[in-house]
Amino acid sequence: MAIHIVLVEPEIPPNTGNIARSCAATGSVLHLVKPLGFSIDDKSLKRAGLDYWPFVTLEVHESLEEFLEKYADKIAEKSMYFATTKGGQSYTDVAYKDGDMILFGKETAGLPRELIARYPEQSVRIPMSKDTRLRSLNLANSANIILFEALRQMKFPDLV
């Protein structure tokens, strides 16, 4: 059983390293969608993931278009969710299941607006302050919040 965490054009190596560590520790699959703002061999990426990288199930995709084409069935099955501050529903309103994919956009811009507009019923948000100066949570924190809600709903499969 696995949840898939998809980082679209991540820019900050420590965020990706921290998410990789969470994926390794939970048996989740990590997808990185290019272009990346760093090399996968980047020292800070490896440092943030510590010695967990050998335990990460990793897929790297050349573009968002390629990724969406490869996993078009997940969109049709409504097994793909788009995490965004613009989401119409809370991440806790979703009934997550094995194989679901959760996409997160790059740190400076999030997911493409046209993607969110195309799939509003699959767009989710983490509730935050109404203060507009507080734009979003850290990417690694956001991924972990939603990942652990999905795993909690699934009763933490294969985890002790």
Per residue in 55-95, pLDDT tens?
999 999 999 999 999 999 999 999 999 999 989 899 999 99
The C-alpha atoms of residue 106 and residue 5 are separated, in whole angstroms, by: 13
State residue 131's pLDDT score: 86
**What pLDDT digit, counting tens, does each position of 131-143 carry?**
888 888 999 999 9
Average the pLDDT over 127-154 and give the result: 93
CATH architecture observed for domain 4-153: 3-Layer(aba) Sandwich (3.40)
State residue 48's pLDDT score: 66
State residue 7's pLDDT score: 98
Helix (H, G, I), strand (E, B) or coil at 113: helix
State residue 42's pLDDT score: 64
Residue in 10, 2, 22 with CA at minimum distance from that of residue 144: 22
Query: Domain coordinates of the chain in residue numbers?
Result: 4-153
Residue in 148, 5, 159 with CA at minimum distance from that of residue 83: 5
Burial class (CB in 10 A: 0-12, 13-18, 19+), 31: buried
Helix (H, G, I), strand (E, B) or coil at 6: strand
Q: Which two tokens stand for residue 113?
A: 């607006």
- The amino acid occupying position 136 is S
Quote the pTM value: 0.94
103, 8 contact by CB (below 8 A): yes
